[in-house]
Amino acid sequence: MIETERLILKPFMEKDLLEISALFQDEDFMAFSPNGVLTTESAIGRFWEIEKHYKEYGYAKMAIFLKATQQIIGYCGFEKCVLNGNQTVELGFRLLKQERRKGYIKEAAIKLCEDIQARGFQSVIAFSELNNAAAHQLLFKLGFIQRHASHFFNMQVIFFEKIF
């Protein structure tokens, strides 16, 4: 568990399965996703995939809870990723539409970047759909550098890198 001023970041836990898998089936939540809205079966599968990643590596995408309400509002965190044949870690994040533009992802990502750096990672990547300007601005604020555009996961994306 990681705490910030306004948030609690927790690994995916079985008790949150229904709530988190419902997010994966929400059109606004899954905007800019390479897979789009997931079916119930795929959403549950994705939940367990992230939960397994945390158990195996000690880090993963984490559920974001608002301290004030204890409600899950999204996720933020890292997963292993193979890019051009090289193993790296990728920062990913999503928020409920009504919780966007409040600084929650920046707050969570700063703490999670500190954590992943403490684990010995020298750099991390992120990618965002070509026209997702809000995500691009956020990544720049987090100290990421734009690297290149490419076709990845069935969509045009821009790759970013943060070197620690």
Domain boundaries, the chain: 2-163
% residues pLDDT > 90 (the chain): 90
- pLDDT at position 83: 83
Task: For 73-114, write each residue's pLDDT tens digit.
Answer: 999 999 999 888 889 999 999 999 999 999 999 999 999 999
Task: For 110-134, write each residue's pLDDT tens digit.
Answer: 999 999 999 999 999 999 999 999 9
Give dist(CA 90, CA 81) in Å, integer: 6
Helix (H, G, I), strand (E, B) or coil at 154: coil
Give dist(CA 47, CA 38) in Å, integer: 11
CATH class label, 2-163: alpha beta
Give dist(CA 60, CA 69) in Å, integer: 23
Q: List C-alpha distances in Å: 45 to 38, 68, 79, 80, 82.
A: 10, 30, 15, 17, 20
Helix (H, G, I), strand (E, B) or coil at 16: helix
- pLDDT at position 110: 98
- pLDDT at position 151: 87
146-157 CB burial, b ≥16 within 10 A, e <16: eeeeeeeeebeb
DSSP H or E run through 157: strand 155-163
136, 128 in Cβ contact below 8 A?
yes
- Per-residue confidence at 42, pLDDT binned at 50, 70, 90? very high
Task: For 130-158, write each residue's pLDDT tens digit.
Answer: 999 999 999 999 999 999 999 887 889 99
Q: List C-alpha distances in Å: 156 to 11, 81, 164.
A: 30, 17, 26
- pLDDT at position 155: 87
Give dist(CA 5, CA 107) in Å, integer: 8
